[in-house]
Chain A
């Protein structure tokens, strides 16, 4: 454009990342996190302990109470997928603190100056949060089967179960990343994380059905993506459990939330360093 530019060094290509490049880089970011887990897996293992306690203690007691209408399945069967969703939620909702940690160390700068689309940075992290749920699925599914829960062993439903759990983890970890980008300090983040987990968990169908709730709480629960995650997990994990919304709605809602949150996260993520 400007005449003197012809004589100077050639300009670097400023074209945006292609869809293939986007997918590739998302997987590189996920790979980075998985490599870290491979070096130190203690974190993943300790996170399998909490759901075991829920299933063994809470589940055993409540299955004798018979106070909760579960649509014909035993309470432990009803609750096991809810506990899976809870474990996924509890890990994912604090995932954002790693962003603050990496910001403080300065690691984030390195990624932001690389030719990696912002959305790929966010989605890659979300996927890696999904990878962290795999051991949880194995622990809860295995223990539930041992406790006599009538789990579905169909490879297709198992695949669907994994997909629903990974989507849930991606969704709530990105939500967490957004909070981290907004509050920017560990102290504030921890406070907010604590405050959010309880309502997300109890205003859902994780351990009791929507029909038990007062109407206003039902509406809140229907806006809560965790409800759809639980519904999908329950349908795909338990023999005889009927889906409340239908799997298409469940996955549609989870996907829509994921896309929207990743889009917001990609906007906010670069601002965490400014």
Chain B
């Protein structure tokens, strides 16, 4: 029911849509019959506790992981049958590291400019622009292994947007950052959305950030879509007259019973490693 509400709100053909998207790992169903649609230019937030399947959804949408059942289209291309088309249209800032510490910031961007077929004549200009946008112009020639966590995140965002993707996927872009760095990273993401009109598909644990940026939010609970809508709709859906509900209340209402269930050993170790790298 919630899924159809989400579908109806987008009038044009969505830039991203999933139909019954499902992924099983052995006996575990990580993502279960997940159906959503995202319109071009939207900022779409996918929320859920650890282990809810958020990253698995992103990995299927970015062609990293084949779905067990169902389908997904991004920028008009099927993620399985037309993976190359999806890859040309998207950018991805994974939770894990995505820039190479053994290269300079400039070299990292140069390699990806080449991999994304940015014409030779435009490369230098695009790289300079991307570095300026995330405030790393002065650090262009420095080795990335000397960067702070916030700088790494900003470089990763620059690298993922060099080719001006139509959809940018961000998997917990501010996890493990100190408040100042978080603020800076969040500002860059907002600017991408408002100034360049890039469609954003992101996961986060920070409710106030999601509330601030996202046009629409979906809550994933044990692999299933628990609810979806605008932040205002979701808050209103709790039906608490008088007291204004926060997004945090919405989150707890739909996913609150799993506070102890999330995460496996591997996931925890990965999360800790990410935190150490960025913090």
Contacts and interface: CB of A to CB of B under 8 A. Distances in A.
Contacts of A7: 12-13
Contacts of A132: none
Given A113-B92, A114-B115, A14 B102 contact: no
Interface in B149-207: 159, 166
Contacts of A270: 64
A273 B112 CA distance: 20
Contacts of A39: 102-103, 143
A12 B75 contact: yes
B13 A106 contact: no
Given A5-B13, A40-B102, A12 B115 contact: no
A115 B88 contact: yes
Interface string A97-126: 000000001110111111110000000000
Contact of B98 (A13, A24, A110): A110
A13 B87 CA distance: 10
B77 interface: yes
Contacts, number: 114
A40 B85 CA distance: 36
A46 interface: no
Interface in B71-129: 75-77, 81-90, 92, 94-100, 102-103, 107, 111-112, 114-117
Contacts of A31: 111, 114
A25 interface: yes
B13 A107 contact: no
Interface string A1-26: 00011011111111111000100110
A241 interface: no
B40 interface: yes
A233 B76 CA distance: 52
B62 interface: yes
A32 interface: yes
Contacts of B111: 28, 31-32, 35
A11 B77 contact: yes
B171 to A, nearest CB: 10
A13 B65 CA distance: 21
Nearest to B92: A113
Interface residues of A, number: 37
A114 B165 CA distance: 11
A8 B102 CA distance: 42
| Max count, chain A CB within 10 A of own CB: residue among B40, B103, B114 | B114
Contact of A116 (B62, B65, B115, B166): B115
Contacts of B90: 113
Contacts of A106: 94-98
B266 to A, nearest CB: 11
B77 A12 contact: yes
B247 interface: no
Contact of B103 (A4, A35, A114): A35
B242 to A, nearest CB: 42
B85 A114 contact: no
Contacts of B92: 109-110, 113
B12 A8 contact: yes
A32 B77 CA distance: 29
Given A40-B102, A105-B97, A114 B112 contact: yes
Given A112-B64, A114-B115, 19 more contacts: A7-B13, A8-B76, A9-B15, A12-B85, A12-B86, A13-B85, A14-B81, A15-B85, A16-B84, A17-B84, A24-B114, A25-B115, A32-B103, A40-B102, A105-B97, A106-B98, A109-B96, A115-B87, A270-B64
Interface of B: 12-15, 40, 62-66, 75-77, 81-90, 92, 94-100, 102-103, 107, 111-112, 114-117, 143, 159, 166
18 contacts: A5-B76, A11-B77, A14-B77, A14-B82, A15-B84, A24-B114, A25-B114, A106-B94, A106-B96, A107-B100, A109-B92, A109-B96, A109-B98, A110-B92, A110-B98, A111-B115, A113-B90, A115-B116
Interface of A: 4-5, 7-17, 21, 24-25, 28, 31-32, 35-36, 39-40, 105-107, 109-116, 270, 273-274
The 5 closest A-B pairs by CB, nearest first: A106-B96, A8-B13, A11-B76, A14-B85, A14-B82
